[in-house]
Structures are given as C-alpha cells and as structure tokens.
Amino acid sequence: MNFFCISESMSRLVIGVLTFFGVIIGIAVNRHMANRSIYSQLVSKSRNKWLSQLRQSVSCVLTEKKNDIATSNSFINKKFYNNYNKIMLNLNLNETLHLMLSEELKRLPDSTEDNFDEIQNNIILISQHIFKIEWNRVKKEAKGRN
C-alpha cells in the first residue's frame, strides 16, 4: 500500500485546511502589527507632547526668575512655582540627567544676580541633553522600534 497516494477529495481537504490556517495566521500577524503601530504612534505622540510642555515650563521658570532678579523682587510668583512643580513632577529621578536637572532647579528659587547665569546655563545644558535623548526615543518609537 502506498501512503503517499491520496484521493483527490482528500488532497482538496488538505489544501483547504492549510489555506484556512494560512489565512488565520495572516490575520493574526496583521492584527499584531496594527496594534503595535497604534501603540507606537500613541507613545510617540504622548512623549512629544510631554517634551513640548517640559520645554515650555523650563523656559517659563527661567524667564520668571530672571524677571524677579531684574526687578529686585524677592517674591517669586505663582507662575514660577506652577511651572517649577510641573517640571519636578515630570522628571524621572531614576535617570541621571533628570536627577541633575532636579538639583539645579532646586538652586533656582534662591539664586541671585551673582549665580543666576551659571544656574540658568546648567539648566539649559542639562535640559537640551534630556530633550535630545527623548527626541531620539520619539523617532525610534515612530519607526515602530521600542
């Protein structure tokens, strides 16, 4: 008896079953890729929004403190602390650069005309490094690589 000889109806059944499983696997792979793409887009969009808000808050605290020093105002206003707190709440203190930025920001409220420029330059430099790293993450996520 030859095991390799199968009837035409049996071969059609085998082809049908293989085709069915091929379609199911194709649908599953396509769905997985679509979900991954949606997730990547969502994460990238959120990270990009976070970066924009962080930039704006850093700029605002530096501008507000500079204005306070320029006007010899010892009272730091609500706008300063609102943005200061936004920055601090958005930092990940498990990351070295975020920790460094936090430390420089803590020096900012008590800064004077004598040391403001140094603190400001440090904050800007550290922030730029953070923005660059995060922007590279956004680009990587946008390409679908996590």
**What is the per-residue pLDDT across 27-44, written as a single tens digit (0 to 9) for each?**
877 777 766 667 677 777
* Phi, psi angles (nearest 5°) of residue 77: -80, 175
Residue 131 has pLDDT above 50, yes or no: yes
Looking at residue 141, its pLDDT comes to 72
pLDDT at 144: 62
Q: Assign 60 a pLDDT band (cuts: 50, 70, 90).
A: very high
- Which is more confidently placed, 17 or 60? 60
Q: What φ, ψ does residue 110 adopt, rounded to 5°?
A: -95, 5
Mean pLDDT, residues 95-107? 96
With cut-offs at 50, 70 and 90, classify the pLDDT of residue 1: very low
Helix (H) or strand (E) holding 119: helix 116-142
**Burial group, residue 66, by CB count within 10 angstroms (0-12, 13-18, 19+):** middle
Per-residue pLDDT band at 119 (split at 50, 70, 90): very high
